[in-house]
Structure 1
């Protein structure tokens, strides 16, 4: 029996979307059927056996679509295997050490009984939306700080846990 997994995400400039697709691709390569979808567009996650939910961090907070998804489906998410991820630091800190979730995400993880949370580095490049993003770019503090292998390793760990749970027969 194939495990079915949703990777729901929210972000502004495409970086978190790419992370979600890397996660889904790696889960698929590891034997777990996964799809990546924007949290704002995704309906109820009842058709999935497990969920990964992630958001870009802006000013230390998740994006509204991810928060709305978590609150709207809280009961269902709390009853399923759930992992959370954040993306955003514009430096190498996320690749160098485990960064704890920001306060609001830590509360959400506890309330939804998430099995884990990870913070990945972010990406901010020319053409990014938002005045804060443009200000950061003017200060030459942009760049791509995502570690694709770290992201794929995390997904492989989730896949290993999910396939260990798979019923036999």
Structure 2
């Protein structure tokens, strides 16, 4: 294992991209070659030793680019160490308890033999794209609920698992 890790993400307003970048930064700090890329920009996953895939949650579904990535690269992902994350709840619930994956992500976990899934709080701030996002913001339910300490802790856990695999 060379230690090359892809952190791919599907995002609409950039919140999930920031989570992916934080995960990649921790992996680099732990000695891995990690890059965070938009899921739609990844042509192949075969150059990587492991993949982390994340998607924002919208109306109970992963963001479309994350869903497409999982389908398009499914055969290759099934042979790699794979971790999944979602971002979405616009409250503190993701920091207070484990939130199970939505049904579509649960199916992808099983199909791709993912090692783990975690849900992080989301972020929806002024200027967000989409009619639904604007409605949520008008109702006063926006904000930034991402827990970067928790995100970095999860990324260190991935780094620990990869380090053990690298030494085996």
TM-score (norm 1): 0.97
2:87 maps to 87
Are the aligned partners of 2:22 and 2:151 in contact in 1 as well (CA < 8 Å)?
yes
Deviation at 1:76, TM superposition (A): 0.5
What CA deviation, in whole Å up to 9, does each residue of 1:88-147 have, x standing for no partner? Answer: 000000001110000110011011000000000000000000000000000000000000
Structure 1: state its 5+ residue gaps: none
The alignment partner of 1:106 has SS state of: helix
1:107 maps to 107
> How many aligned residue pairs are there?
168
1:31 maps to 31
**Equivalent-residue separation in structure 1 for 2:86 and 2:42 (angstroms):** 18
Are the aligned partners of 2:2 and 2:49 in contact in 1 as well (CA < 8 Å)?
no
Are the aligned partners of 1:32 and 1:163 in contact in 2 as well (CA < 8 Å)?
no
What is the RMSD of the two structures over their aligned residues, measured on CA atoms?
0.9
What CA deviation, in whole Å up to 9, does each residue of 1:41-86 have, x standing for no partner? Answer: 1111000000000100000101111111111111110010000000
**Equivalent-residue separation in structure 1 for 2:137 and 2:131 (angstroms):** 10
Output aligned runs, 1:1-169, within 5 Å.
Answer: 2-167=2-167
Are the aligned partners of 1:51 and 1:81 in contact in 2 as well (CA < 8 Å)?
yes
TM-score (norm 2): 0.98
Deviation at 1:167, TM superposition (A): 4.0
Are the aligned partners of 1:31 and 1:163 in contact in 2 as well (CA < 8 Å)?
no
